[in-house]
Amino acid sequence: MTIKPTPSHTRTATGVRRRRRGPMAALACAVLTAVTLGTAVPAMAAPAARTAAAVDHTDDRLPDLDPQALRQALSSAPDRTTGVLARVSGPDGHWTGTFGAADLATGAPVPVDGRFRLGSVTKTFIATVVLQLAAEDRLDLDQPVQRYLPNVLPDSYPPIPVRTLLNFTSSLPELTPDDLPTTPDGIVEHRFDDHPLAELVAKAVRHERPFGDPGSKQVYGATGYYVAAMLVESLTGHSYQQEITTRILRPLHLRDTTAPELDTTIPGPHSHGYIAVPQPAGGTRLVDITEQNPGAGGMISTTADLDRFLTDLFRGRLLPPSQQAELFDVPDVPYLGGTDHDPGHGRAYYSAGLLRATLPDGVTVWGKTGSTFGYTDGMFATRDLRRRLAYSFNPTTGGGNDLALVNRILSAAFAP
């Protein structure tokens, strides 16, 4: 999976100095996410001893929902999380549950309809918009990015096909810990900093590319999606957040989902996010980082809205067949640094904005995970939508890199 972090702290929105953004809105969240995880190597529930492509439907083999297993999964990391929320939907049963507190100061429970920051789940929305533009013949996925965005990538770069941005085979380099603050105290101090897309890409391309030929290998990262968001803005004349709102949120009536550009707050019911900051005398102090620069992982949603988005996306409501196929087309290339223990068994396992993984019982799920500092979430479904999962939890470790908890929740939902 892909779990990612971002910056924040406790200041009220009125106390924040806000700088007007240019057309390239900030994606600092996703950046810090990739930086915090180093190479941002994704992980997933232990894969079956078969290729991930072996099972892409469920027939009648899904196990019954096990509420006890789900409750145990949600409550399995009380030392690392302050709140957890999950929703399971589909023809085979429905379940919702919460664990922990929404606010440590008041002890208020986690709201079932609580909103949370999406982190890199935003990538799925960006990929959908890019595929819509391709369906409108406003771009060609096989044409190089340089055709549409001249002077953004170095002249020494080979042609980078647009498609490779979406399926993580672009060969673009990533930001490093030297580019942005990654320590808890630095994250807190700089949680409201604004980093335009062009700035993030310019910093990333100063580093060495991870491999030579675009499309020849896959490795998860954020830079390709910074460029994809810039592409959306260049072709439409609107921010990528505006395009997501107009093309996806409004048509699907996702009323509890927003794509903020400047607002540092989370509207409506929500759990607070915290980060453990080391103290000079020893130990740590939990700092409320709910408010933060929205950046790339700044989209906000609910489990119900994510369930609706994934359902309509899989059913083809947002894309015509040719572009819909890109969502489930995993390139047949090696995964850089991959092993037999990852979801692709050493091969690629990302398509255009989605991740494919086969669980130990042989059921294949598609979806995406994301994280900003204080929030980790994900959405997954079987291809036939017979069972769907959306979850969110509030890690205190600074970036949501809690693969054990993610795996427990996934297994409890799909393979208890």
Query: Model confidence over 23-61: pLDDT tens digits?
Result: 333 233 333 333 332 233 333 433 333 333 333 444 457
Whole-number Å distance between alpha carbons of 55 and 49: 12
Q: What is the pLDDT of residue 182?
A: 86
Give the bridge partners for 381, in sequence order: 366, 388
The DSSP bridge partners found for residue 357 are 365
pLDDT in tens, 93-113: 899 999 999 999 999 999 999
Statement: residue 221 has pLDDT above 60: yes
The DSSP element (H or E) to which 358 belongs, if any, is strand 355-358
d(CA 5, CA 177): 13
Handedness of CA 228, 229, 232, 234 (dihedral sign): negative
Those residues with Cβ within 8 angstroms of residue 178's Cβ, 6 or more apart along the chain or in another chain: none
pLDDT at position 190 is 92
Q: Which amino acid is at 282?
A: G
For 284-308, what is each residue's pLDDT tens digit? Answer: 999 999 999 987 668 999 999 999 9
Residue type, 406: V
Residues 5, 11, 14, 19, Cα dihedral to 10°:
-50
Task: Using the predicted structure, report yes or no on whether residue 379 has a pLDDT greater than 70.
Answer: yes
Most confident range, picked from 57-71, 90-104, 391-405: 90-104
Encoded tokens for 191: 């949680």
pLDDT of residue 49: 30
- Contact residues for 136 (Cβ-Cβ < 8 A; gap 6+): none
Q: Is the pLDDT of residue 156 over 90?
A: yes
What's the pLDDT tens digit per position in 196-219?
Answer: 999 999 999 999 999 999 999 999
Distance (Å, whole) CA 180 – CA 321: 40
Residue 162, classed as helix, strand or coil, is helix
- For residue 120, indicate whether it is catalytic: yes
Choose, from 8, 89, 120, 371, the residue flagged as catalytic.
120
Q: 3-state class of 143 per DSSP?
A: coil
Pairing of strands 364-372, 355-358: antiparallel
Based on C-alpha coordinates, what's the Rg of the chain?
20
* pTM confidence score: 0.88
Residue-averaged pLDDT of the chain: 86
Under the banding of pLDDT at 50, 70 and 90, the label for residue 401 is low
* Angle, in degrees to the nearest 10, between helices 223-236 and 122-135: 40
203-206: long-range pairs with CB below 8 Å, 24+: 203/175, 203/179, 204/172, 204/173, 204/174, 204/175, 204/179, 205/153, 205/154, 205/157, 205/172, 205/173, 206/173
Determine the Cα–Cα distance for residues 148 and 131; give it in Å rounded to an integer: 15
Can you tell me the mean pLDDT for 374-386? 96
pLDDT grade, residue 360 (50/70/90)? confident
Q: What is the pLDDT of residue 148?
A: 98
Query: For the residues 137-164, what does the mean pLDDT come to?
Result: 98
pLDDT of residue 39: 30
Query: Rounded to whole angstroms, how far apart are CA atoms 144 and 224?
Result: 13
Burial category of 251 from C-beta neighbours within 10 Å (exposed 0-12, middle 13-18, buried 19 and up): exposed
Q: Which of 42, 43, 1, 47 minimizes the C-alpha distance to 361? A: 47
Considering the chain, what percentage of its residues have pLDDT values greater than 70?
84
pLDDT score recorded for residue 92: 85
Give the domain ranges of the chain.
13-414
Confidence band of 397 (pLDDT split at 50, 70, 90): confident
Please tell me what DSSP assigns to residue 158. P
Provide the token pair at 4: 């990612």
CATH 3.40.710.10 fits 13-414, yes or no: yes
Which pLDDT score, from 0 to 100, does residue 222 have? Answer: 96
Q: Is 284 left (phi over 0), alpha (psi -120 to 50) or beta?
A: beta
